[in-house]
Every structure is written in structure tokens, then in C-alpha cells.
Amino acid sequence: MPESATPAVREVPVSDAEAGPYGIAAGPDGALWLTLVHGGRIARLGLDGAVAEYPLQPADCRPMVITAGPDGALWFTLGGADAIGRITPAGETSLFRLPEAGSAPYGITAGPDGALWFTASGTGRIGRITTGGEITEYPLPVPGAFPAVIAAGLDGALWFTLNRADAIGRMSTGGEAAVHPLPTPGAGPVGIASDGEALWFAEILAGRIGRITVDGAVEEFPLPDPECRPHAVAATAAGECWFTAWATGRVGRITAGGEVAEYDLPARDSEPHGIAVGSDGALWAVLETGAAARVAR
């Protein structure tokens, strides 16, 4: 898509408004997989608009972030059940309880070692779970940092946002942690994604998008509305990312040249949260109002 072009946007209903679509990931079957945080369900959205839902137990388990795993299944965090969930493309679900109550797992990603890595926001840890369900957790050197979203970097490590520490963390697959403070106080980073060279992240409290290289150099991009509350990011190419701004009902794009563009969704109060690249090459954002927005690029 040319940098000056406005992308075509259409909304696809995926649930009732009370279900709260939150996380989204492209699955190995070519469909989009969503978490319904308030509804306690996982939804599958085909590119043809067909929706299937899979209930989870307990009903108040609060599924949050979802990712494609190395085993052909989707893995997701259950913030209200202190557990990690797994669902196959056929809809078969499994649940793995974490060792400690109050863990409140949130972010999850496939690691470079064939396991899944997740954040335990409530206990301030980074966790690792094998596809067989074995769990290991590693403490962080910053108390109360509230680790949020996590992504695999090109350096073979895991990178994650530390929402209450205004920092980005890095952990090796051996559990060694490092912390990179952000230059902006009160940034509140949440989403993070790798573009194959560096990592992009969203500063929800400062209204900025940031980029950090694997050697710790940080660059920040102020957004036009500092109160837009950017939440999730999806890196589409080296030097470029897309993001959701849930307070203003928009999705946005940072180009390789550092230019910022934002695009209105049909409803300003749609509250877009998660964002992912679909198998059709489009951006898909999930909306709190019960829909997914497809953004052509």
C-alpha cells in the first residue's frame, strides 16, 4: 500500500458486545483466533466471515493474549484462572495450571527453543511452558514491574514490556534477565512485537510508539493525540509497524521513514485491542464492541 493511501476497512461481527474480543492471532489453518475475555471463550474467525466459538472452564477464566504455537495449536493465557490454555484447530482444549495463585498470566509467545514463553503479571515473573505442559518460572530483578506482552527477538531471546517500571525487559532462554529503562517517564508500555530487526512497543500512558534494538537503543514516536492509548502492535516488515489506539477508535502505522498515519474505524467507541497480520496479508484488529476490523494494506 502506498504511504499516502487510505486503507479499506471493514468490520466483521464475531461475538456479542458483552463478550469482549481482546487478543488475536493467525492460526496454522489460515483463520484468525480470538480471545473473548469477558465471555470466557475462544473464537475462530474464517476469512469468509464464519465464526465458531469454544467455551472454556471456568467461565470467568478471562482469556487474554493468544499466539500460534510450534505444535500446530494455539496457546493463550487465562488471567482469571492462573493458567495457560491450548486449543487445536479442531477446537480441542487443554488447560495447564500455574504453580502460584495470583499469577495473572497475560502475554504469551512462541520462543526460539520450541517452548511457549509467557508473562505472569501478578507475580512479576517470566514463565516457560513446553508443549507437553512442563512449566518453569523466572523472577525479574525489578519488583512490581508488571510484565505485560512478550515477543521473541531476532537475537534468540525473549523481549517483554514492563508496564509499571517504564522499561523493556530481555530474558535469555536460560532465564538471565536484563532491563532497559525507557527515556519517557510514565510510558506504561504494553504491546511488543519484532519486525525481524528490532522490536516495536506501545506506550499506552504516554501516547507513543517505541522501537528498541537488541543492543538496547530506544527510539520513540509521539502520536498525534497523546491520549489515544496505543495498546497492541504488529510488525509487518523491517522498520514498520501497525498499532491499535483504543481510546480514539483508530489503527495506525509507523513507516520505515518514521512517518505516522492513523485511520478511523467505523465506530470511534469500538475500542480496538489486539492486532495481527492475517493469512490474507491484511491487518486484523479485534474490537471491544464485538467485531474484528480488517484493514487492507
Tens-digit pLDDT profile for residues 83-97: 999 999 999 999 999
What pLDDT, on a 0 to 100 scale, did the predictor assign at position 3? 52
pLDDT band per the 50, 70, 90 thresholds, residue 258 = confident
DSSP per-residue letters across 69-95:
-TTSSEEEEETTTTEEEEE-TT--EEE
To 5 degrees, how large is the angle CA 27–CA 276–CA 135? 60
Query: Please, are residues 160 and 147 in contact by the beta-carbon 8 Å criterion?
Result: yes
Measure Cα distances from 253 to 13, 83, 194, 221, 297 in Å.
24, 33, 15, 11, 10
What is the pLDDT averaged over residues 177-187? 97
What is the pLDDT averaged over residues 105-124? 98
How far from chain centre, in Å, is Cα 123?
Answer: 19
Output the average pLDDT for the chain. 96
Q: Is 38 annotated as a binding residue?
A: no
What pLDDT, on a 0 to 100 scale, did the predictor assign at position 235? 93
The answer on pLDDT for 7 being more than 60 is: yes
Lowest mean pLDDT segment, chosen from 63-72, 160-169, 214-223, 252-261: 252-261
What is the pLDDT averaged over residues 114-127? 98
- Contacts from 201-205 at CB under 8 Å and sequence distance 24+? 201/149, 201/161, 201/168, 201/233, 202/230, 202/231, 202/232, 202/233, 202/243, 203/230, 204/163, 204/229, 204/230, 204/231, 205/229
Residues 6+ apart with CB under 8 A from 8: 295, 296
The answer on pLDDT for 239 being more than 80 is: yes
| Spatial distance between the Cα atoms of 223 and 269, rounded to a whole number of angstroms | 19
Q: In terms of DSSP bridges, do strands 135-139 and 125-129 run parallel, antiparallel, or are they unpaired?
A: antiparallel
| C-alpha cell belonging to residue 204 | 499506552
The answer on pLDDT for 142 being more than 80 is: yes
The answer on pLDDT for 1 being more than 70 is: no
Q: Where are the domains of the chain?
A: 9-295
Q: What is the largest CA-CA distance in the chain?
A: 50
Q: Is 271 annotated as a binding residue?
A: yes
What pLDDT, on a 0 to 100 scale, did the predictor assign at position 268? 84
The answer on pLDDT for 70 being more than 60 is: yes
| Spatial distance between the Cα atoms of 181 and 176, rounded to a whole number of angstroms | 17
| Spatial distance between the Cα atoms of 151 and 109, rounded to a whole number of angstroms | 6
What is the pTM (predicted TM-score) of this model? 0.96
What pLDDT, on a 0 to 100 scale, did the predictor assign at position 135? 98
Q: Is 240 annotated as a binding residue?
A: no
What pLDDT, on a 0 to 100 scale, did the predictor assign at position 138? 98
What pLDDT, on a 0 to 100 scale, did the predictor assign at position 255? 87
Query: Please, are residues 123 and 115 in contact by the beta-carbon 8 Å criterion?
Result: no
Q: Cis before residue 58, ω within 30 degrees of 0?
A: yes
Say how many residues make up the chain.
297
The residues assigned a catalytic role are 273
How far from chain centre, in Å, is Cα 117?
Answer: 13
For residue 283, is it left (φ>0), alpha (ψ between -120 and 50) or beta? beta
Closest CA to 63 of 35, 39, 83: 35
| Percent of the chain scoring above 90 in pLDDT | 93
What pLDDT, on a 0 to 100 scale, did the predictor assign at position 187? 98
Residues 6+ apart with CB under 8 A from 90: none
What pLDDT, on a 0 to 100 scale, did the predictor assign at position 227? 97
What is the pLDDT averaged over residues 168-181? 98
What pLDDT, on a 0 to 100 scale, did the predictor assign at position 4? 53
What pLDDT, on a 0 to 100 scale, did the predictor assign at position 212? 97
What pLDDT, on a 0 to 100 scale, did the predictor assign at position 17? 86
Burial of 150 (0-12, 13-18, 19+ CB in 10 A): buried
The answer on pLDDT for 257 being more than 90 is: no
Q: Which residue has the higher pLDDT, 62 or 239?
A: 62
What pLDDT, on a 0 to 100 scale, did the predictor assign at position 55? 97
What is the pLDDT averaged over residues 163-181? 98
Out of 2.130.10.10, 3.30.420.40, 3.90.550.10, 1.10.8.50, the CATH code matching 9-295 is: 2.130.10.10
Measure Cα distances from 89 to 76, 144, 190, 252, 284 in Å.
13, 36, 28, 30, 19
What is the pLDDT averaged over residues 244-255? 95
| C-alpha cell belonging to residue 2 | 502506498
| C-alpha cell belonging to residue 104 | 495473572
